[in-house]
Amino acid sequence: CLIFKIIHSFTTSLINSALLSRFAWLSLNSSDNEFLIKVIEATRGKSEHEAGYIGGNAATLAVKVDQAALEGRDFSDTVIKGADFSNARLQYVNFNGTNLVDSTFTQLFSRVHCVAFSPDGKFLVASDSIGQIYLWKIGEEKQIFAFQADTLWIWSIAFSPDGNIFATAGGSKTIKLWDLKTGQLLKTLTGHTNSIRTLSFSLDGQIIASAGEDETIRLWDINSDEHLKINLEDTNRVNSIAFSPDGKIIATSNYNAQKICFWDVKTQIPQVRS
C-alpha cells in the first residue's frame, strides 16, 4: 500500500538514537502516533524481508512518545522487527502471529500467574492475568514472542514430553494447544463448564489430563479431540493433577480437602486416598 512505500525509506534511516529522539519530539508535537500505528499495521501479511525494520522502528517511536501508545491494539500477523519495548505498556496488545524477531522486552505487562520450562530446559513460557503468553530462550535473555492467548486468566501451562507443543488453560474453560516454534494455535479443546486450574500430559504425549472448578477430571486424546469425563465424588475444585510415569494412574489434589486422590486411567475408579 502507499503508506507502506512512503515510510520505507524514511524509517530505515531512523536507527540511531539521536534520530529516534528527534522524530519522537516531532511526533509528540504533531500528534502523529496514529500514523505510526498505521505504519505497523501496513506490515501485516508481509514477509520479514519485505517489511524490514519498518514496523519495529514505528513501534519504537510510538512508545517513546507515549508508553501506552500500543495498548489495546491488534498487531496480529504484522512484522515488528527490532522494536524497543523496554518501558512500553503493552496490556491487551494482540501479538498473535506477530514476527517480533530482535525486539526487546525488559518487563512483564501484568501479574504473572504460571510458568513452565520446556523438557530440554531451553525455553520458558509464562502467562499473566490478562491472558498474555510470553516465550523466552534461556541463556540468551531473548524473548521469542508474546501474544494474546486468551481474554481471561491463564491458570496452567504444560509442555508435551517432546517439547514441540505447550498447552494453556484457565478462565475461558478451554484448553489451547500451541506450536512452540511458531506460536501458532493448533487446536482448542472444549468441554469444561468452569475454569480449568491444572493440566498434565501423559508421558507419551498423547493424552492431556485437565481439571478445575467444574468438579470433573477430563482426559483428552490430542489427536482425535475426544475426551473422557470423570466425575469427582466430592464437590471441591481440583488444584493440581499429575500422571504417573507409566501413565496408568492420575493423582489429584483438591481445594479445601486435605487429601490426595489416585485414579485408575482405564477404569476411572479412585484407588487410594491419603
Which range, of 27-36, 39-48, 86-95, 176-185, averages the lowest pLDDT?
Answer: 27-36
The per-residue pLDDT of the chain, averaged, comes to: 80
DSSP-assigned beta bridge partners for residue 147? 133
Which range, of 190-204, 223-237, 243-257, averages the lowest pLDDT?
Answer: 223-237
pLDDT at 99 over 80: yes
**How long is the chain?**
274
Q: What confidence score (pLDDT) does residue 25 get?
A: 45
Nearest to 200 by CA among 249, 244, 158, 169: 158
pLDDT at 110 over 70: no
Q: What's the whole-model pTM score?
A: 0.62
C-alpha–C-alpha distance, residues 137 and 123, integer Å: 5
pLDDT tens profile 199-239: 999 999 999 999 988 888 899 998 887 788 877 655 567 88
Q: Predicted confidence band at 150 (pLDDT cuts at 50, 70, 90)?
A: confident
Which comes out higher in pLDDT, residue 3 or 79?
79
Q: What confidence score (pLDDT) does residue 107 get?
A: 56
Q: Is 18 helix (H, G, I), strand (E, B) or coil?
A: helix
C-alpha–C-alpha distance, residues 266 and 216, integer Å: 16
Q: Determine contact, residues 103/85, Cβ cutoff 8 Å.
A: yes
Q: What confidence score (pLDDT) does residue 116 get?
A: 92
Q: What is the mean pLDDT of residues 157-167?
A: 95
All three cell numbers of 147? 501474544
